[in-house]
Chains A and B, each alone.
Chain A
Amino acid sequence: MSFEDDVLQDFLTEAKEGLEKLDEEFVELERDPQNTEILKSIFRTMHTLKGTAGFFGFKTLEGIAHFAEDILSKLRDGLVVADEEIIDILLRAVDHIKAIVAHLEEHKQEPVDETYLDFLVELSNFAEKIAKRAKGEVGGTKPADKRPLESKASKEEPVEEKDTEEKPKEEKAEDEEPAGEKALEDKKSEEVRSSSSTPSITEKKKEEAPKTSKVAPQVTLTETHIRVDVKLLDHLMNLAGELVLARNRLVQIAGEINDTELMRATQSLSLVTTEMQETIMKTRMQPIGTVFNKFPRIVRDLARSTGKKVNLHIEGADTELDRSIIEAIKDPLTHLVRNSIDHGIESPDERVQIGKPAVGTLVLRAYHEGGQVIIEIEDDGRGIDVEKVKKKAIEKGLITPEEAERMSDREAIALIFRPGFSTAEKVTNISGRGVGMDVVKTNIERLGGSIEINSVKGSGTTVRVKIPLTLAIVPALIVLSGGERYAIPQVNLKELVNIESDEEIHRIGNSEFYRLRGEIIPLIRLSRILGSPNGDYERSLVILSTGVMDFGLLVDEVRDSEEIVVKPLGRLLKGIPIYAGATIMGDGKVALILDVVGLSRYVGFKAEEMERAFGEEDQRAISGEEKQFILLFNVHPSEQFAIPLSLISRLDKIEASKLEYVGGKEVVQYKGKSVPVIRLENYLPIQPLPEQEEYNLLFFEDRKKKVAILVSQIVDSLETDLELDEDIYHTEGILGNRIINGRTTIFVDIYKIIEMYDPDWFSRPEILEKKRILYAEDSAFYRQLVKNYLQSAGYEVEVAEDGLEAWEKLQQKQFDLLITDIEMPKMDGFELAKKVRSDERLANMPIMALTSLSGEDVYRKAKETGIDEFQVKLDREAVIRTAAELLAEKTAEATA
């Protein structure tokens, strides 16, 4: 050890020399406190002392020299002026150093005495004070209790390092450094983010400018940013997704039509749509670091619980992803990381045995590549043992031993993703299910991504997840038909209806309908369209809208609503009109997305049919937009009849055998009950019903009474206005006729017929006086129909063909009640009502409006114009009841 002694000796000699010099220099300094040269020299001496003391490990000495040097640097740089207090403490420092040196000479060890330590503390506090003074008390955000731990050896060591290494511009750097330290401890991440770079030397040089305020790094100019509600962005995303779907459709159609202009226009639309979607995506981008930051804790806990030692690398934390992807990958990533630590990385002992460092490495890495985000989970563990995987797969019955033989390594590794491979030993927080690799794969593929594994036995495993940056995500309803799933874009969905019984569906020939609150909705069965065996199991009705029309789709079952990623169908399948694309479901299987417009083409009422119906007739004035569905049927095949569909409560077929005579009346056994039957030929001058094996029944219901009209065949149904030629013979029970589908069609007045069948069928209200009703209606059909049943109810009814005629009649004659249609030529119902209300004489007349339209607007307008009540024309009972009410009121008023 004598050589070491020599070295020490050298040090001591050098130290003593330095101390002597210091004595002299301090004397000088007292005389000339601002002498930079002296200050520099003193500083240098102290610096050398510090260095060598550190070299030998004389911590106390080093500490004192360090703080002294600190103070001296401020003096030297002119930030603080050396006053008595400062010089005094510096001298004391020198004294202490001297004493230590002396002790060292004797004992070769530093003295252990409280006094030195106390002084050290005092000196350090003082140095801090000076440092503050030098900064001019700027930026006091330092929380008092959150200072970093300082070792006595190096409070601002990086500062002095710079002092020695780069002479100029240090004061600015010094200012930043404490700020950086403090900011690091602040919990606010923004501050940390921007100033975490400050401790680094090179970067400090750059951040010189704001000496005055340490606020600079943290401020982001708020004028260029705005806050947006996340819900708004989500909505925007959805719209973008729907736009993509519509664009796809357009592109497909344009491709079929082959018009250059259209193609060009579609192309620019396509480009804009893509860019718009991408831009919207950007607003939802978040750095993947938010997910990655969950992992240090997970890794640490896992490592601890499995007794393994793991180092974690996070790389590419700034890589940005869409928010929804970030949410969705949390669980799969967690699972993969768990796997790496559980099964990949070996225990420290094992690792050392095979020559690996005891501590394993796990890397979470993300980066962009070719329009995709790549996330890698890499470990240096034991890699995947292909043989073991094969064995396990055979055990689980996933493959046969022969297949295992022939498999390549890559195929074998892919076995891991097979469902059933990894039994869920641990149930994780993903909806309570155990998570296996198959679920991970499916979850990633649902995002449109893919997952692959690169593994080398003994070396480690890298799992690579690729996710595309642009997604077309659309909310959709999942339905079942024929055992397969189909997705219906939510944008087309109006309503969902549960069909309780078959009775709710009305059949006419090949078409089916559903009555939705007075509206007749044509139905189509998905099973039939898809060509699969008939589903009588269809109990769910999905009401869809193409914007132009509404219709109902019958499916087997309705499942959940989901957000799906739209994937285009290949070229070979693009042309099929009922599909808009495909999507990958939660279980990894593909499901088709239905195109609602394409489906609507299957609806029975084609526009052409309607036109045909119109075209064959002479041009008639069409009364407003009133259209009704009418049913065409035959009694005798040569004659065609029509009746408004809404008057019929049901349609059905029966076998002739079910017809019976009971008590002189013909009835039919229908669903266990006897229902009286009407043969039209008994009441109308028409050809009789031929003998058939099967007949059709048109059911009519009024309150609890039911009756069925026996017809031979239902021809069809169609929507049309009710323009008629009035029956020249005014036959009771016939409203008129018209040519439909090339045949003369007789419109039947069902109320009359039923009355003829059973005069007591409709109860009549009590009538004291015969009240006079004026009924304004431009359609002959309704004029007849309503007039007839009003008359049957005991009222005197006069009719007018339009508002003007009604007005004139009102002037001339006395009426008790005005019932009027809305849509009429010359003067419509609203106008008529207004006029009546503004006429002195007529102002109090009760007015009832009848319409075939329904809807809030009409109702409101009716009320505005002074109409008292509002009813649907074909609802006989309601009309009569309301009329009675209105008349009763009037009477009450009159008598009051």
Chain B
Amino acid sequence: MMSDPFKVLGIEKGASWEEIRRAYLRKVRKLHPDRGGDPEAYLRLQASYEALRSLYESRKRAQIVRERPGKGDYFLSFIELTVREAAQGAEKWIKVPDELAVCGECQGSGFDPRGRRRICEWCSGEGLISEKESPLYKHPCPRCKGEGEILLDICPRCRGRGEVRGEKEILILIPAGVRDGDLLFVPRSPDGPALDVFLEVLIKKDEDFFFEDDNLVARIKVPFWKAVLGGRVKVKTLEGEEEIEVPRGLPSGARLILNHRGPFRPDGRRGNLVLEFELWFPREYPAEALRYFQRFYEIMEEEYGGTSGIKQ
């Protein structure tokens, strides 16, 4: 039996291709014979990597469909994506139905081999019955199939069916631009799922990062002092982390639109990424800062007159 390739690489089962690649590289470093690693372990690593790679090669592209086709057998499940994944597209490992196989527990009999049993009344436990006409010829008792005993309890695994459907993991590519509630379809194929697969897209709710029509809105907390004096904030865009210049005097709730930096649309174009700035006030301030603030307070009050209002 081949060992679990994920285990060999030391990663979680649902790892993305990125992670697989990285894990491989990490391990290869250690195990490469030229670097003094164990050749056997190295071979195992290679094999696991190859296995995953071929799974990757046969990755299935999920398509978005409006409705299920009316005919045929299928498997319906759901898939959770983060907003980021939905916006950019993602590769995900999913468990899909595999072919039917003989139930391992009961070897196809449908009965629990560990359950209660009873002596077969046809052969009285012998397992063989003889013909009426020729008592010399005995053949296996059809009732108990020669066992001499009848199993009474049904097999817990297959519950009497004798066969179970296997499961396998495949990698699917989710196109960018899916939205919550969309249906993804992965057709059955010899190297893919044994049944047509439909997945309902569920997008994890994130207050600070969500879809708005064709755009993505990211709520960015801007420390108030940066709003006062201007500064840069780190923003995680779809491409990675970036620093965005915050204009001075930025009001809370202001939106900065980054054109075409948003989620991908069906036609290949991109929506916008809207940065919504929210002023952020820390809960505690260092004593020194407070002192400066006090002074700042007094100056500002003088300038803008009293606490009763703001003079234009």
Contact = CB atoms under 8 A, between A and B. Distances in A.
Complex contact flag A–B (Cβ < 8 Å): yes
Interface in A49-76: 55-57
A521 to B, nearest CB: 55
B109 to A, nearest CB: 14
Given A184-B63, A196-B187, A202-B190, A456 B159 contact: yes
Contacts of B195: 313, 315
Contacts of B265: 149
Interface string A451-492: 000111011111000000000000000000000000000000
Nearest to A67: B268
Nearest to A300: B200
Interface string A183-210: 0110101001100110111100000000
B173 A200 contact: no
Contact of A57 (B18, B75, B161, B260): B18
Contacts of B175: 148-151, 154
Contacts of A155: 268
Contacts of B66: 146, 185, 187
B61 A152 contact: no
Contacts of A154: 61, 173, 175
Interface string B43-75: 000000000000000000101111111111111
B69 A454 contact: no
A7 interface: yes
Interface in B172-209: 173, 175-178, 185, 187-190, 195-196, 198, 200
A316 B73 contact: yes
A648 interface: no
B260 A153 contact: no
Chain A: interface secondary structure? mixed
Contacts of A314: 73-76
A147 B157 contact: no
Contacts of A150: 175, 266-268
B183 to A, nearest CB: 9
A314 B239 CA distance: 40
Nearest to A147: B266
A652 B280 CA distance: 106
B97 interface: yes
A462 B175 CA distance: 37
B269 interface: yes
A536 interface: no
B21 interface: yes
B54 to A, nearest CB: 12
A311 interface: yes
Interface in B103-146: none
B77 interface: yes
A153 B89 contact: yes
A157 interface: yes
B291 interface: no
Given A121-B269, A196-B187, A311-B76, A148 B68 contact: no
A120 B76 CA distance: 34
B29 interface: yes
B7 interface: no
Contacts of A313: 73-76, 97, 165, 195
Interface residues of B, number: 61
B154 interface: yes
Given A147-B266, A152-B268, A197-B187, A117 B260 contact: yes
A56 B159 CA distance: 46
Contacts of A118: 260
A296 B68 contact: yes
Nearest to A195: B69
A124 B29 contact: no
A172 B35 CA distance: 50
Contacts of B75: 311-314
A356 B77 CA distance: 17
Interface residues of A, number: 67
A242 interface: no
A4 B22 contact: yes
Interface in B190-237: 190, 195-196, 198, 200, 237
B224 to A, nearest CB: 28
B25 to A, nearest CB: 5
B266 A462 contact: no
A112 B157 contact: no
A118 B270 CA distance: 10
Contacts of B97: 313
Contacts of B264: 149, 151-152
A189 B73 contact: no
A202 B187 CA distance: 12
A150 B62 CA distance: 10
B268 A124 contact: yes
A787 interface: no
Interface in B87-108: 89, 97
Contacts of B190: 201-202
B39 interface: no
A315 B72 CA distance: 8
Most buried by B among A150, A155, A187, A378: A150
Interface string B257-273: 00110001111111000
Interface string A300-314: 100000000101111
Contact of A3 (B25, B61, B67): B25
B190 to A, nearest CB: 6
A196 B69 contact: yes
A184 B89 contact: no
Contacts of A311: 75-77
Contacts of A181: 63
A454 to B, nearest CB: 5
Contacts of A55: 21
A114 B177 contact: no
B159 A459 contact: yes
B113 to A, nearest CB: 14
B42 interface: no
Contacts of B29: 3
B14 interface: no
Contacts of A682: none
A192 B157 contact: no
B251 interface: no
Contacts of B239: 110, 112
Most buried by A among B69, B154, B264: B69
B78 interface: yes
Nearest to B24: A7
B165 A200 contact: no
Interface in A1-23: 3-4, 7
B5 interface: no
B89 A312 contact: no
Contacts of B74: 313-314, 317
B187 A199 contact: yes
Contacts of B242: 112
Given A109-B240, A149-B177, A314-B73, 20 more contacts: A55-B21, A112-B240, A114-B259, A121-B269, A149-B64, A154-B61, A158-B61, A184-B63, A185-B66, A187-B66, A192-B70, A196-B196, A199-B187, A289-B72, A311-B77, A313-B74, A315-B73, A454-B154, A459-B156, A459-B157
* 9 tightest Cβ-Cβ pairs between the two chains A and B: A189-B70, A151-B89, A456-B156, A312-B76, A192-B69, A149-B266, A311-B77, A459-B156, A149-B175
18 contacts: A55-B21, A57-B18, A109-B240, A112-B240, A149-B177, A150-B267, A151-B173, A151-B264, A152-B176, A153-B89, A154-B173, A192-B70, A199-B187, A201-B190, A293-B70, A312-B77, A313-B73, A459-B159
Interface of A: 3-4, 7, 55-57, 109-110, 112, 114, 117-118, 120-121, 124-125, 146-155, 157-158, 181, 184-185, 187, 189, 192-193, 196-197, 199-202, 287, 289-290, 293, 296, 299-300, 309, 311-318, 359, 378, 454-456, 458-462
Interface of B: 17-18, 21-22, 25-26, 28-29, 61, 63-78, 89, 97, 154, 156-157, 159-161, 165, 173, 175-178, 185, 187-190, 195-196, 198, 200, 237, 239-240, 242, 259-260, 264-270
